[in-house]
Chain A
Amino acid sequence: MSIENLKVNDPFADDVGDTQPKNYVHIRIQQRNGRKTLTTVQGLSKEYSPKALLKAFKKEYACNGTIIQDKDMGEVIQLQGDHRTKVMDFLTDKGSDKMGKYALAKENIKIHGF
Chain B
Amino acid sequence: MAETEETPVFDPSLKKKPRKSVAFEAENGDEVNGAGKDNAEPQGLETGEGGEGKESEEGTAEMFKGKKKKKPKKADGDDEAPGEVAEFDPTALKRKKKKKPSKEKAEGDSFDAALAEAGVVPRGEGEEGAEDAEPALPEDTGDLLLGTGVWNAASTVDLTYPLLLTRFFTLLRSQHPDLAGDGRRSYKIPPPQVLREGNKKTIFANISDICKRMKRFDEHVTQFLFAELGTSGSVDGSKRLVIRGKFQQKQLENVLRRYILEYVTCRTCKSPDTDLKKGENRLFFVTCNSCGSRRSVAAIKTGFQATVGKRRRQQT
Contacts and interface: CB of A to CB of B under 8 A. Distances in A.
Interface of A: 14-19, 22, 26, 28-33, 35, 37-38, 40, 42, 61, 68, 70, 72-73, 76, 78, 81-86, 88-89, 106-114
12 contacts: A14-B295, A17-B295, A29-B53, A37-B54, A73-B304, A78-B306, A81-B52, A84-B6, A86-B51, A88-B5, A111-B9, A114-B254
Pick from B43, B230, B309 the residue with the most CB of A within 10 Å. Answer: B230
A96 B252 CA distance: 34
B83 interface: no
Contact of B306 (A30, A81, A83, A106): A30
- Cβ-closest 9 pairs across A and B: A114-B251, A107-B12, A30-B230, A15-B295, A31-B245, A82-B53, A42-B304, A111-B6, A73-B304
Interface string B275-316: 000000001010000000111111100011110110000000
Pick from B42, B200, B294, B304 the residue with the most CB of A within 10 Å. Answer: B304
Contacts of B247: 114
A105 to B, nearest CB: 8
Nearest to A16: B296
A32 B244 CA distance: 10
B260 to A, nearest CB: 15
Residues of B in contact with A, size category: 35 or more
B230 A18 contact: no
A14 B294 contact: yes
Contacts of B298: 18-19
B301 to A, nearest CB: 9
Given A32-B308, A84-B2, 16 more contacts: A14-B285, A18-B296, A18-B297, A19-B283, A26-B304, A33-B309, A35-B54, A68-B306, A83-B52, A84-B6, A89-B43, A109-B12, A110-B12, A111-B6, A111-B10, A112-B230
A110 B296 contact: no
A38 to B, nearest CB: 5
B3 interface: yes
Contact of B229 (A19, A42, A85, A114): A114
Given A14-B296, A113-B228, A114-B255, A85 B283 contact: no
Contacts of B252: 114
A84 B42 CA distance: 13
Given A82-B52, A110-B9, A76 B304 contact: yes
B308 A31 contact: yes
Nearest to A85: B5
